[in-house]
Amino acid sequence: MGQRAVIYCRVSTADQSCERQEDDLTAFALRAGYEVAAIFKETGSGAKLDRAERKKVMALAQARKIDAILVTELSRWGRSTTDLLSTLGELESWKVSVIAMNGMTFDLSSPHGRMLATFLSDIAEFERDLISERVKYSLAAAKARGKRLGRQTGERPKSDRLAPKVMTLIAEGRSYLWIARDLAISKNTVNDILKRNRDLNNGT
């Protein structure tokens, strides 16, 4: 019996199909002697946080029911370099490899896999540094243009937006607790809105 593997396919949008990936990976598994335990198909961008099908694959790996995950390319599996490294680390603890059709096999128990992981770790750190640098540059540029950053003192976007509704409900005799629950705000926020409204009406 060959190693147990699952096929994982992902496309970015609903108008795309996983059919080509599935066909290619099924043929690849047959040539390599893998026993395909299941096929998982996902639609969503690479940055999408909630990948239900990938979570199912990870659950199978954790349960030690598979030995490998087959993908057409690593971008189909990892959301980012950091995400790829994180999931590889988990998979290594369960003795499961990620194998791409382009010949890249990530098995962190092997010297080759550890070398690739080290390389990717350096890239991930480089990416984080670039992002941090861009954010700092953008903030400095905005500040140089005289733009005020962040929420300004005295600004309460949510409570100010909800103030008319709060005052209407208070006038209808609703309790502060009921209003807080209904509008998904705290009771203190209801009290603050009422106090600001009274101060405004009293000219203070």
Catalytic residue among 12, 75, 86, 109: 12
DSSP letters of 50-84? Answer: --HHHHHHHHHHHTT--SEEEESSGGGT-SSHHHH
What residues have CB less than 8 Å from 121, skipping those under 6 apart? 85
- Catalytic-residue membership of 12: yes
* Contact (Cβ atoms closer than 8 angstroms) between residue 147 and residue 157: no
Q: What is the DSSP letter of 137?
A: H
CA–CA distances in Å: residue 22 to residues 74, 75, 86:
15, 15, 25
User: What are the residues whose beta carbons fall under 8 Å from the beta carbon of 114, sequence distance 6 or more?
Assistant: 108
Residues marked as catalytic: 12
